[in-house]
DNA sequence: CTGGGGAAGGGGCCC
DNA sequence: GGGGCCCCTTCCCCA
């Protein structure tokens, strides 16, 4: 909008009308601000004149121009029909039993609620005025004789029953001029009857098939469930009435929600009307649904039909037992994707995530003593035998500093749901990780029950200590799999600048990642990690940490290899501040980008088609090839971002980052 | 903030 | 097709 242009802005609130109606209905049920009492054969209904005048031509007539009466006795209208019309007025939905359709049509016609009358006619298969309406018309015709009394604000009269014969219907406007049979009572009687007892609107005789036997009592609403053969007729407000027989699915006229299931709409409508027709005979508590009352009654009878087989606990609800059983199993299948806290119940996870209890990224960590949970993923748990010296362990399987020697510690991995692993170890299998570091020490990998995984870790030692994480040949990983490994690495790093956090591998098809310590090299030595992966690795680093990437020894350097280490995570992704490239033919290539302020470092190794894949490939391939003859999987690398570039390009890149 | 019990509301199944 | 019954999810409350 240009300055000075005073345009109108229309902001729609589509829920407003339904909310307004819903609140009015709630007021009606609670009696709040009700200024009109309608009575019919001893049954009284509190309502609002404004609402009734809005839906009914008759009431508009009655209340138009003057305040009108506070109590209207409408004995000519069936109580049930009157209740249905009131329900329609406040919910835009008709609920009426089919046997009462004619009474409803009669009432709607008399009261000038044309859309309802049309809906009734459609349901009854009548297109034009039928005998009933003719009768009604004649009654109204008779009543029109009183049209001259319109100026009379209060008309008290008494009529004897009359037999009516058919004649043409008159227009509602004409009709209502004559039906000023109103008595204004300033103070509504508690019983809902007129103070002038002889005032009566005698139209009973026009009712066809009228049931004289009504069980309704004063002020009592009719539970929908108690209306046999009922029909729900959704009548769009403001338009011509349109019947819609109950069928699946139905749309709620108030909240527009689609309700599935036959006969479920009346149940749903009570959520808007607040109607609670089912009352506990013991304590008086009311319910909207019969089945809820039934469950409630168990509280009085002491019935707890759901027994826990593992303890003496008994429950009212099946789902309570289900929740309870999770306590026994210890299963916590609902895990926060951010902080990895696990919950036994999904709603607790939802609450956790909605709240602010999950603001930080934490390492996965299981609860002590907790059996691995079930689920589509699996967890890898390293168990070290007592007596194992922690310093002898591979850095990546080493526990955090908080772990004592010989204490249980864990690294955990997970393959995301949906990943299929074909080459599997048997469920519950224990895989030994052998190390040959003097004493008999080994690690075990325990696959959780139910898991099918081909992930295998091996630790070997000797002249060459190799710690390898690899996937078995022929394992088919559907793309997008992620393996998260608890990780600590201080190789080649100064102690104060270690980074230790998770290492996340983005794994492609038939991918392999391996961490290898070169022959003769101490795992914690200077040479750092040989890092081969047909996948990307992302390591979260502490700010200002140094990440050392070394190609390892034995590398046949090509002429002037140029390598750029690229960070790729987050909006602040950038190169380390002045990556240092040192060519050390003896030790291999060594990259030491300083990651000042970087929260994450992404190391994505080159794909096979990069300019100089051979460099990295050969560094890793040969020792692997000795073990896996001809396996081509090791050469499959993911998308690379360790790019080969010229010296000039590298300088430019550094300048860009600076 | 979490664990647990309970209520409310929706959907499926069956009579 | 309506209603009863049951299961499930979601939300609220309390300790």
Structure confidence at residue A225 (pLDDT): 31
Q: Is the pLDDT of residue A66 over 70?
A: no
- Read off the pTM: 0.29
pLDDT top residue among A575 and A315: A315
Write the DSSP assignment of A364-401 as a string of letters.
--PPTTPPPPPSSS--EEEEEPTT--GGGS-GGGPPPT
Judged on CB neighbours under 10 Å (0-12, 13-18, 19+), A398 is buried
Structure confidence at residue A305 (pLDDT): 73
pLDDT single digits (tens) A247-292: 456 777 777 777 877 778 888 887 777 777 777 777 777 788 888 8
Within a domain: A392:
no
Q: Which nucleotides of B are covered by protein (CB under 7 A)?
A: 1-14
Structure confidence at residue A26 (pLDDT): 80
Q: Is the pLDDT of residue A521 over 50?
A: no
Within a domain: A235:
no
Rounded CA-CA distance A279/A290 in Å is 9
Q: Is the pLDDT of residue A553 over 80?
A: no
> Do A108 and A240 contact (CB within 8 A), yes or no?
no
Structure confidence at residue A277 (pLDDT): 77
Q: Is the pLDDT of residue A70 over 70?
A: yes
Nearest residue: Cα versus C1' of B12: A261
Please indicate, yes or no, whether residues A297 and A168 belong to a single structural domain of this protein: no
Structure confidence at residue A313 (pLDDT): 67
Within a domain: A461:
no
Mean pLDDT of A5-28: 62
Please indicate, yes or no, whether residues A164 and A288 belong to a single structural domain of this protein: no
Structure confidence at residue A649 (pLDDT): 33
Please indicate, yes or no, whether residues A331 and A277 belong to a single structural domain of this protein: no
Q: Which nucleotides of C are covered by protein (CB under 7 A)?
A: 1-12
Rounded CA-CA distance A303/A318 in Å is 13
**Which nucleotide is the nearest neighbour of A228, by CA and C1'?**
C2
Range of the domain at A345: 313-358
Write out A523-585 in H/E/C secondary structure. Answer: CCCCCCCEEEECEEEEEECCCCCECCEECCCCCCCCCCCCEECCCCCCCCCCCCCCCCEEEEC
Mean pLDDT of A577-586: 34
pLDDT single digits (tens) A382-426: 333 444 443 444 433 443 333 333 333 333 333 333 333 222 233
Within a domain: A1:
no
Mean pLDDT of A72-93: 80
pLDDT single digits (tens) A585-622: 333 333 333 333 222 232 333 322 222 222 222 222 22
Please indicate, yes or no, whether residues A168 and A297 belong to a single structural domain of this protein: no
**Tokens encoding A178:** 């004559």
Q: Which residues contact A272 (CB under 8 A, 6 or more apart)?
A: A22, A25, A91, A252, A254, A255
The contacts found for A620-629 with CB under 8 angstroms, 24 or more apart, are A620/A514, A620/A516, A620/A530, A620/A532, A620/A552, A621/A532, A622/A554, A623/A464, A623/A466, A623/A516, A624/A512, A624/A514, A624/A532, A628/A473
Q: Is the pLDDT of residue A349 over 50?
A: yes
Structure confidence at residue A377 (pLDDT): 29
Structure confidence at residue A311 (pLDDT): 66
Q: CATH number for the domain including A123?
A: 3.30.710.10
Within a domain: A520:
no
Please indicate, yes or no, whether residues A47 and A178 belong to a single structural domain of this protein: yes
Please indicate, yes or no, whether residues A70 and A175 belong to a single structural domain of this protein: yes
Please indicate, yes or no, whether residues A39 and A170 belong to a single structural domain of this protein: yes
Q: Which residues touch strand C (CB under 7 A)?
A: A 224-225, 227-232, 245-247, 261-263, 266, 290-291, 294, 317-319, 322, 345-347, 350
Q: Is the pLDDT of residue A121 over 50?
A: yes
Within a domain: A195:
no
DSSP state of A183: B
pLDDT single digits (tens) A451-473: 323 222 222 222 122 222 332 22
Summary mean pLDDT of chain A: 46
Structure confidence at residue A296 (pLDDT): 78
Nearest residue: Cα versus C1' of C3: A263
Rounded CA-CA distance A523/A517 in Å is 6
Please indicate, yes or no, whether residues A266 and A342 belong to a single structural domain of this protein: no
Locate the DSSP E strands across A423-472.
Answer: 430-437, 439-447, 455-460, 466-471
Q: How far is the CA of A627 from the C1' of B6 (A)?
A: 60
Structure confidence at residue A131 as a pLDDT band (50, 70, 90):
very low
Q: CATH number for the domain including A271?
A: 3.30.160.60
Mean pLDDT of A353-378: 38
Mean pLDDT of A19-28: 79
Structure confidence at residue A636 (pLDDT): 25
**Which nucleotide is the nearest neighbour of A321, by CA and C1'?**
B5
Structure confidence at residue A110 (pLDDT): 79
pLDDT single digits (tens) A481-495: 223 332 222 222 222
Locate the DSSP E strands across A180-335.
Answer: 230-234, 250-251, 258-259, 278-279, 286-287, 306-307, 314-315, 334-335
Q: How far is the CA of A650 from the C1' of B2 (A)?
A: 52
> Do A456 and A508 contact (CB within 8 A), yes or no?
no
**Which nucleotide is the nearest neighbour of A347, by CA and C1'?**
C10
pLDDT single digits (tens) A431-458: 333 322 222 223 333 333 333 232 222 2
Please indicate, yes or no, whether residues A297 and A319 belong to a single structural domain of this protein: no
Structure confidence at residue A43 (pLDDT): 83
Number of domains in chain A: 3
Within a domain: A460:
no
Q: Which residues contact A97 (CB under 8 A, 6 or more apart)?
A: A80, A227, A228, A229, A230, A231
Structure confidence at residue A126 (pLDDT): 66
Structure confidence at residue A52 (pLDDT): 86
Which residue, chain included where needed, has tokens 């058919």?
A166
> Do A515 and A467 contact (CB within 8 A), yes or no?
yes
pLDDT single digits (tens) A133-161: 444 443 344 333 333 333 333 322 223 22
Please indicate, yes or no, whether residues A254 and A328 belong to a single structural domain of this protein: no
Please indicate, yes or no, whether residues A89 and A123 belong to a single structural domain of this protein: yes
Q: How far is the CA of A346 from the C1' of B10 (A)?
A: 18
Q: Which residues touch strand B (CB under 7 A)?
A: A 257-262, 264, 267-268, 270-271, 287-289, 291-292, 295-296, 299, 313, 315-317, 319-320, 323-324, 326-327, 341, 343-345, 347-348, 351-352, 355-358
Please indicate, yes or no, whether residues A354 and A282 belong to a single structural domain of this protein: no
């Amino acid at each position: 909008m240009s300055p000075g242009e005073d345009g109108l802005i229309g902001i729609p609130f589509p829920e407003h009308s339904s909310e307004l109606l819903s609140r009015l209905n709630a007021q009606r049920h609670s009696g709040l601000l009700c200024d009109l009492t309608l009575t019919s054969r001893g049954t009284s209904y509190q309502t609002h004149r404004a609402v009734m005048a809005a839906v009914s031509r008759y009431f508009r007539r009655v209340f138009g121009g003057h305040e009108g009466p506070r109590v209207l006795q409408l004995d000519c209208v069936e109580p049930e029909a009157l209740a249905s019309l009131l329900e329609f007025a406040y919910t835009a939905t008709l609920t009426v039993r089919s046997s009462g359709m004619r009474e409803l049509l009669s009432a709607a016609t008399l009261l000038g609620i044309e859309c309802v009358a049309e809906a009734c006619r459609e349901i009854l298969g009548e297109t034009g005025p039928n005998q009933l309406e003719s009768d009604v018309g004649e009654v109204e015709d008779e009543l029109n004789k009183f049209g001259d009394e319109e100026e009379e604000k209060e008309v008290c009269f008494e009529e004897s029953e009359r037999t009516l014969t058919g004649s043409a219907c008159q227009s509602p406007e004409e009709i209502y001029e004559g039906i000023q049979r109103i008595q204004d009572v300033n103070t509504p009687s508690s019983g809902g009857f007129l103070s002038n007892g002889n005032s009566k609107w005698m139209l009973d005789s026009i009712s066809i098939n009228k049931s004289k036997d009504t069980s309704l009592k004063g002020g009592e609403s009719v539970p929908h469930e108690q209306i046999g053969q009922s029909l729900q007729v959704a009548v769009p407000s403001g338009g011509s009435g349109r019947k819609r027989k109950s069928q699946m699915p139905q749309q709620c006229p108030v909240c527009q929600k689609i309700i599935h299931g036959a006969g479920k709409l009346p149940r749903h409508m009570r959520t808007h009307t607040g109607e609670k027709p089912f009352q506990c005979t013991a304590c008086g508590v009311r319910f909207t649904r019969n089945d809820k009352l039934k469950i409630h009654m168990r509280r009085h009878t002491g019935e707890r039909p759901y027994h826990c087989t593992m303890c003496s606990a008994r429950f009212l609800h099946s789902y309570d037992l289900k929740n309870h059983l999770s306590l026994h199993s210890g299963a916590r299948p609902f895990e926060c994707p951010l902080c990895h806290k696990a919950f036994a119940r999904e709603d607790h996870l939802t609450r956790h995530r909605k709240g602010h209890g999950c603001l930080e990224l934490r390492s996965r960590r299981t609860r002590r003593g907790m059996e691995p949970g079930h689920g589509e993923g699996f967890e890898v748990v390293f168990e070290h035998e007592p007596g194992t010296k922690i310093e002898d362990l591979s850095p990546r399987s080493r526990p955090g500093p908080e772990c004592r020697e010989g204490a249980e510690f864990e690294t955990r991995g997970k393959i995301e749901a949906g990943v299929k692993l074909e080459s599997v170890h048997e469920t519950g299998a224990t895989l030994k990780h052998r190390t040959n570091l003097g004493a008999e020490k080994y690690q075990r990998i325990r696959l959780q029950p139910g898991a099918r995984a081909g992930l295998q870790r091996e630790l070997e030692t000797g002249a060459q200590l190799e710690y390898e994480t690899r996937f078995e040949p022929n394992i088919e990983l559907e793309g997008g799999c992620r393996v998260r490994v608890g990780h600590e690495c201080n190789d080649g790093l100064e102690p104060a600048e270690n980074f230790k956090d998770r290492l996340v591998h983005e794994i492609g098809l038939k991918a392999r990642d391996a961490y290898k310590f070169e022959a003769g090299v101490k795992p914690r030595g200077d040479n750092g990690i040989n890092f081969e992966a047909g996948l990307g690795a992302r390591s979260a680093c502490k700010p200002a940490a140094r990440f050392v990437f070394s190609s390892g020894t034995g590398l046949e350097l090509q002429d002037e290899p140029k390598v750029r280490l690229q960070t790729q995570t987050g909006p602040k992704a950038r190169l380390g501040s002045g990556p240092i490239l040192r060519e050390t033919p003896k030790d291999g290539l060594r990259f030491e980008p300083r990651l000042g302020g970087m929260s994450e470092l992404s190391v994505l190794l080159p794909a096979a088609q990069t300019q100089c894949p051979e460099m990295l490939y050969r560094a890793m391939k040969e020792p692997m090839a000795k073990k896996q003859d001809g396996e081509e999987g090791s050469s499959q690398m993911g998308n690379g971002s360790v790019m080969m570039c010229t010296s000039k390009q590298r300088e430019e890149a550094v300048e860009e980052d600076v």
